[in-house]
Amino acid sequence: MSRLKELFASKKNRVLNVYCTAGFPELTSTIKIMQALEANGANIIELGMPYSDPLADGPVIQASGNIALANGMTIKVLFDQLKDLRKTVIVPVILMGYMNPVLQYGFEKFCVEAAAVGVDGLILPDLPEHEFETEFGAIIKKNGLDFIFLVTPETSEERLRKLDSLSTGFLYAVSSSATTGSDKDFNAVEKYLLRLQEMNLKNPVLVGFGIKDKETFESASKYSNGAIIGTAFIKALENSEDIALSVKQFLSGII
Amino acid sequence: MKTDTYQQPNEQGYYGEFGGAYIPEMLHRNVEELKAKYLEIMYESSFQKEFQYLLKDYVGRPTPLFLAERLSKEFGASIYLKREDLCHTGAHKINNTIGQILLAIRLGKTRIIAETGAGQHGVATATVCALKGMECIVYMGEKDIERQAPNVARMRMLGAKVIPAISGSKTLKDATNEAIRDWINNPNDTHYIIGSVVGPHPYPDMVARFQSVISEEIRWQLKGKTGHELPTHVVACVGGGSNAAGAFYHFLDELSVQLVAVEAAGHGVYSGMSAATTQLGKPGILHGSKSLLMQTEDGQVIEPHSISAGLDYPGVGPLHANLYTSGRGLFLSATDEEALQSALHVSKTEGIIPALETAHAFAVLGRLNLKETDRVVLCLSGRGDKDLATYIKELKLVD
């Protein structure tokens, strides 16, 4: 059973997935942050692979990616850093990134090496479902990785069912049609999440985008299996002098 | 090439191996709506009637096909200039913005966004928004705003709001990222007018169709002048590739016509300061489509360089990437210096000051081994007024 499946088998609500950018704020922060996240209650870690042109991310995450790139982060460096990941980190780890760097690295090689270091799944927001079905999905599956599609309030029911059937691990519900870090009215979000809940989807649903504190986390968790926090956490790391302490303080304000 | 045409992509938006729609789910509904409706709307008779009327009475089409006699003599062939520089706003860009604003209205959109590099597409978008009373927001790299002050002023005068793109390298590619983000955040009322044959399917095909009026006119104009519908060569500059796509369009499947695309080599193709995408790029994904892309070994996008802001783009439209890899198109390049000297030469020889982008196309005429009987059409995509500051500085025109 995959780590994500195991997690959702035992924990059905208030699952907390925290996003951090690999190589930010320092090149060598990655593992330290992941260990601190696990120690302080994160259930899933979503590790962002920095890209020069991250379309689906807002300015805060893009800025963290630029710093990570300037620090020298690459996919190769990242896999090297993750070599001993599973000696200290138990929670599921997902890599999030954009297609271009992965294609340059070699899609199959990327999947093989990700699986080898103990990565559990992938989020590639600009991998379209057609290309997933005809080309890349089989490679992902062959390497035992989960693949998580995004859905939005504008995704039709028919398409939702399709993306649910293609996803494994969980579904990433964008709380509004918004790049990460945007503020939106949470009542409209609740309606949308209720609709998702009533659809009885195959996958658990985690809510991303716009989750920044205890209130938004609780509210998102009410109608879903949990939530993803990104921008707010990156902000908390921006001026951190003690990473372990910053992570602890941040998470104690959420759960 | 699997399909039997170079003109249109397949159902998924692929020209050979290039194209597609590599977009996040947040854009799916908008792009899907466009894909489902663009052809139907474009070829509906009331749309065509209004489009043709505006091209004629507002843009000033058909633009002349002019036999440049002194250049013809110099290069030993008949050189015809397709005068897109005479379009309203000074370049071919408006052919596309007229088409897209009419489409946006029929899609029920009320707010228009666009990206711009040098400001030509921004001005063309602001112009049609003023014409149709639509709200207009133009994203422009912070660096470009500083470099292109007159175009920023023109857009403001036309009622557009110019928003600086402050992310990444603060130039065209970042302005495009910001425009796409705006679209993600405003999925209901907004249409994104992309300025070139780039972006997710159906944009490359849609923009190529709107620009195809250029080659449609060339065909009948050339027939009237020479008795031949087909030129032997069509020459155009390529950044993203919209004027080239328009000039090539009705000749793409006429294999006797040599299609010549001219990229910006900056300080030299291999100088590290270049925008010659097909020479330096590898297959990659940027702004929603797969094409040739200037990038590092790690797949990070490289900031290109060209003296001409309109060619200063790290990618190229998927239609062109397919012309390059299939061998259908001949891809050449011209340096900043060659472009400057060509601009000066054409000005003195034909009395036409071309845009810096177009000057790149002129720069390769001497390399085509032309014969007396050749009929060469060069797409004179824009006029040089906007580049006067650069010409003054680089050609030392003022004491």
Interface test with A, best of B25, B35, B194, B285 (most A CBs within 10 A): B25
Q: Check CB contact under 8 Å for B21 and A128.
A: yes
Q: Are A145 and A28 in contact (CB under 8 A)?
A: no
Q: Please confirm, yes or no, whether B381 is among the known catalytic residues.
A: yes
B91 in contact with A at a CB cutoff of 8 Å? no
Which residues of A are tagged catalytic?
Answer: 46, 57
Which sign does the torsion angle of CA A6, A199, A215, A32 carry? Answer: positive
Q: Least CB-CB distance to A100: which of B28, B174, B299? A: B299
Let me know: does A230 contact A180? Beta carbons within 8 Å.
yes
Enter the tokens of residue A189: 């979000």
Q: Flag whether residue B293 sits within 8 Å of chain A, measured between CB atoms.
A: yes
Residues of A in contact with B167 (CB under 8 A): 59, 62-63
- Asked if the C-beta of B185 comes within 8 angstroms of chain A's C-beta atoms, the answer is yes
CATH architecture under which domain B60-91+212-394 falls = 3-Layer(aba) Sandwich (3.40)
Residue with tokens 């951190």: A240
Does residue A175 surpass a pLDDT of 90?
no
* pLDDT of B165: 94
What's the CA angle centered on B128, arms B27 and B63, to 5 degrees? 115
Is some CB atom of chain A closer than 8 A to the CB atom of B285? yes
Contact B12 A55 (CB under 8 A): no
Residues of A in contact with B285 (CB under 8 A): 98-100, 103, 126
At residue B2, the pLDDT reads: 45
Nearest Cβ partner of B180 from A55, A127, A159?
Answer: A55
Provide the whole-model pTM. Answer: 0.96
| Chain A touched by B284 (CB under 8 Å) | yes
Q: B173–A66: do the CB atoms touch at under 8 Å?
A: no
Cα distance between residue A216 and residue A179, in whole Å: 17
List CB contacts of B12: < 8 A, sequence separation 6 or more: A130, B19, B20, B21, B201
Q: Which two tokens stand for residue B298?
A: 């790690």
Of the CATH numbers 3.60.20.10, 3.40.50.880, 3.20.20.70, 1.10.760.10, which one belongs to the domain with range A15-252? 3.20.20.70
Give me the pLDDT at residue A180, please.
54
pLDDT for A181 beyond 80? no
Rounded average pLDDT over A38-51: 98
> Residue B9, preceding bond cis, omega within 30 degrees?
no
Match 């390059």 to its residue by tokens.
B324
- Flag whether residue B25 sits within 8 Å of chain A, measured between CB atoms: yes
Q: Are residues A152 and B26, on separate chains, in Cβ contact within 8 Å?
A: yes
- Work out the number of other CB atoms within 10 angstroms of the CB of residue B53: 11
Fold match, B14-54+93-206 / B60-91+212-394: yes
CA pair distance B11, A247, nearest whole angstrom = 48
Per-residue pLDDT of chain B (399 residues; tens, 9 = 90+): 445 799 999 999 999 999 999 999 999 999 999 999 999 999 999 999 999 999 999 999 999 999 999 999 999 999 999 999 999 999 999 999 999 999 999 999 999 999 999 899 999 999 999 999 999 999 999 988 987 889 999 999 999 999 999 887 888 999 999 999 999 989 889 999 999 999 999 999 999 999 999 999 999 999 999 999 999 999 999 999 999 999 999 999 999 999 999 999 999 999 999 999 999 999 999 999 999 999 999 999 999 999 998 999 999 999 999 999 999 999 999 999 999 999 999 999 999 999 999 999 999 999 999 999 999 999 999 999 999 999 999 999 988
Kindly report the nearest CA distance between residue A53 and chain B, in angstroms. Answer: 7
Backbone angles phi, psi at B293, to 5 degrees: -145, 135
Q: Residue A76's closest chain B neighbor by CA?
A: B298
ipTM of model: 0.93
Every domain of chain B and the residues it spans: 14-54+93-206, 60-91+212-394
Asked, as a colleague might, if the bond just before B202 is cis with ω within 30 of 0, I would say yes
CB B327 within 8 A of CB B55: no
Q: Is the pLDDT of residue A179 over 70?
A: no
A50: which DSSP letter? P
Tell whether the torsion through CA atoms of B268, B272, B274 and B279 is positive or negative. Answer: positive
Residue B213's alpha-carbon distances to A33, A53, B101, B207, B373, in angstroms, are: 57, 33, 17, 11, 26
The CATH code of the domain at B14-54+93-206 is: 3.40.50.1100
Residue A62 with chain B: CB contacts under 8 Å: 167-168
Q: Is the Cβ pair A76, B298 closer than 8 Å?
A: yes
